[in-house]
Chains A and B, each alone.
Chain A
């Protein structure tokens, strides 16, 4: 249904209606950006070296409201951390499809971005996760520093805060 995503098209035609939609937008985006729950999902060394360090006490994902969830039903964010093989790519696509809306993807590390060291002469590695699912933020590095993972989360929060309700209406059935 998503009534609120269909409303702004009508409300904005009324003079001064924009005030209502922008405040609703601000509130929704703020709440979405402040509690990005990411899926517990590691593919390779990036998940061990980068993601676990970022989630632990020194760098601390929690202060951005980010908690890992073990089920895609409760997750907003998928961090593709590591080398994505063709075999795993099918599963990643299924998991992405099973995540609840609104959903975002961070591609972490050289392998997830573009195949990394497996770009040449590899029969089994997918050359970039954006070939199967839409990616919001890319993090370079092999593996990326925890600071850069945090930076990516801030970038994603900025992106969420700029979302328009009308865009949701256009893409909703």
Chain B
């Protein structure tokens, strides 16, 4: 009897085998004429000015994190606003609590100087 996970294993083997076999035959068939320009990074017809592996400033990460918080906030706010009358007072207070938590988070981030670009 074959277990359910065996199907996944077979699938993985077939996937790996497909890639290996395809690349092997491509290597047999393709003409190869390397040149320095071909090995260079593609930048829309320009020669690249620097290495493609750039390091980004870690400060972008903080901004991204704060953005995600308010992004999620908006995701919750819009459906709530759309059925605001039907939900009534309870939902209103609940949303105020939710906003208060996030605003405390913002104040904390502000106090930690996460909003400043140093």
Contact = CB atoms under 8 A, between A and B. Distances in A.
B35 interface: yes
Nearest to B25: A4
Interface stretch (B15-23, B26-34, B59-67, B87-95): B26-34
- The dominant DSSP class at the B interface is loop
Contacts of A121: none
A90 to B, nearest CB: 8
B27 A97 contact: no
Given A71-B42, A98-B42, A4 B29 contact: yes
B31 A97 contact: no
A102 B31 contact: yes
B42 A172 contact: no
A99 to B, nearest CB: 8
A150 interface: no
- The dominant DSSP class at the A interface is helix
A2 interface: yes
B33 A95 contact: no
A98 B45 CA distance: 9
Interface string B22-55: 0000011111111101101010111100000000
B43 to A, nearest CB: 9
Contacts of B30: 2, 100-101
Contact of A101 (B28, B32, B40, B46): B32
Contact of A91 (B33, B35, B46): B46
Contacts of A168: 31
Contact of B31 (A73, A99, A172): A172
Contacts of A95: 45
B46 A94 contact: yes
Given A5-B31, A28-B29, 8 more contacts: A1-B27, A73-B42, A94-B46, A101-B33, A102-B31, A168-B31, A172-B33, A173-B33
CB-CB nearest 7 A-B residue pairs: A91-B45, A97-B37, A101-B31, A95-B45, A168-B31, A2-B32, A94-B45
22 contacts: A2-B30, A2-B31, A4-B29, A5-B31, A28-B29, A71-B42, A91-B46, A92-B45, A94-B37, A94-B45, A94-B47, A97-B37, A98-B38, A98-B40, A98-B42, A99-B38, A100-B30, A101-B30, A101-B32, A101-B33, A171-B31, A172-B32
